[in-house]
Structure 1
């Protein structure tokens, strides 16, 4: 059974042409990208003992970006030397991702598919899975995360980010980002689908993974920059999980 939510996919289909416009509808993601890349790179390097001063430190690693959109994370991973597969349920996003990667001289395997599709196809396991800002848009988070876990090799790492569910996140992510700042179209997020860190940890554990870290992404409205925080997970946050074995 697919966990793809057609209504959620439709929201991103309508914005697909703007994936690489830093001042377009994905401006918040472009602003967040350097911060989340810092976290992702550090976690993968730590798990696999990679030297980030090397020219291509992720050489030999196979990385899946599930819900890849226009490829904003796929391209940096490819530049670091990884073999990258980018998957998205949106038929409009994949051509945008392919064209931008080709223009950038990068070889990335982009596919319109779901996690369940990859499992059903017997896709070879991945060393790392990037699962960023996706789980709040699927129909069944537990089934989705279980499918993702099935795609991870023993000893592999999954990095999963989402938005906390509390009054502050409603004010910041829904009222502030969508209605006041109009960074995103109204209705992009459904507050009831947000997950608390404890809830996400529970889903990851039930999927057979071992959560080992959770860190906040914190926005500074004065400097207009994002930073990592071990204390503030009140709105945006990210987790790292390992597949035992």
Structure 2
């Protein structure tokens, strides 16, 4: 596999280095990725519901995502790739952090899953003409050098009518308190410096960026943490910290 072309990439080398330093801990539910393990059921619920609605799938069926080609860009250790593969999708996981890939590959092999993991970037895959029914872009856009260029690459990676799921963090005082002070400084769920609050994106800003990238936003919901039940849930109204969006690449116009 050729190395990613950093000359035309939106990859932020400093951001990649942060996650490479934690690569071995992806599947440790009590380690540095504990917040993602806790968030995963909420993320998966949203993703599968959006896919089912867009492609007319019955999630109670065996392998309901069979026949769909899905890309998880910024896949990390494969926390989303593996459940998508279990649901029957053909899954490609891509990450700019080279050390994440062998970790993801090994865990998939141990789990008996066939997942195509690649050390590459969204831009390189788009330039190669790769296209997918679904592109997952989860907790990545706040770590790239140019969100618009990155989302444009995600658009190019979608087939017409394809579904793009993007989650990130809102930028306000509450998100600074919870994601930076709370998660990194007080709870120590993440190493200090994992997030840069200035790179957080408001929901309206993200919708605008998605439209500029050629995508059509169709839904957005908050992902809210309940400290009493110690669990996450989706919210129609509370997008104040974590939130997730769904958008579509428009179908081709026929004249």
Give TM-score, length-normalised by structure 2: 0.95
Query: Which of 77, 81, 103 is 2:84 aligned to?
Result: 77
Pairs aligned (count): 244
Paired position in structure 2 for 1:21: 28
| Counterpart-to-counterpart distance in 1, 2:217 and 2:235 | 17
Structure 2: runs of 5 or more not aligned: 1-7
Q: Structure 1 residue 83: deviation in Å?
A: 0.2
Structure 1 residue 121: deviation in Å?
1.6
Correspondence 1:96-245 to 2 at 5 A: 96-123=103-130, 125-245=131-251
Instruction: Give the CA RMSD over aligned residues.
Output: 0.4
* Runs of 4+ displaced beyond 3 Å: none
1:215-235 per-residue CA deviation (whole Å, 9 max, x = no partner) reads 000000111000000010000
Match status 1:64 vs 2:76:
no
- Name the SS of the counterpart of 2:181 in structure 1: helix
TM (norm. structure 1) is: 0.99
* SS of match in other structure, 2:28: coil
SS in 2 for 1:239: strand
Aligned residue for 1:178, secondary structure, equals: helix
Corresponding position of 2:56: 49
1:122-161 CA distance string (max 9 Å, x none):
22x1000000000000000000000010000111000000
Q: Does 1:3 align with 2:10?
A: yes
Distance in 2 of aligned mates of 1:238 and 1:77:
17
C-alpha distance in structure 2 between counterparts of 1:223 and 1:54, whole Å: 30
Give the secondary structure class of the aligned counterpart of 1:91: coil
Q: What are the superposed Cα offsets for residues 39-84 of structure 1, whole Å, 9 maximum, x if unpaired? A: 0000001000001111100000000000000000000000000000
Alpha-carbon distance between aligned partners in 2 of 1:201 and 1:94, rounded to the nearest angstrom = 30
